[in-house]
Amino acid sequence: MNNVSIYHNPRCSKSRQTLALLEENNCSIEVIEYLKTPLSTAVLEDILSKLNVEPRAMMRTKEAEYKEQGLAEPSLTTAQLIQAMVDTPKLIERPIVLANNKAAIGRPPESVLAIL
């Protein structure tokens, strides 16, 4: 049985589909509702490292907050983008699944199967 963490938003259909897929695969799941329990800088840095992506790759760039905060500005540093996700968790792409010291974004939900 796999121990899996999912950064979950129950209002998001992809997040719910990914959670259901993990349940179907008999995973032992820790559900973290990141809008209620915001992620720290260290946790976000760890997830980015496991995903091997730049911060914008795990940000919801179509959210109004992304535009309002000017986050498309190329001169912003990694630290500034991570801080924006700490301050505004809604900007974080969802769901994110951690398993076996790896991470995957559940878009599409089946993409998380590769790390189980």
Catalytic residue IDs: 12
Distance CA 48, CA 58 (A): 8
Helix-helix angle 41-51:78-87, to 10 degrees: 120
Strand partners, 79: none
Distance CA 38, CA 19 (A): 19
Q: Name every residue whose Cβ is closer than 8 Å to that of residue 39 and which is 6 or more positions away in sequence.
A: 7, 47, 85, 86, 89, 92
**Structure tokens that stand for 16 in this block:** 């719910």
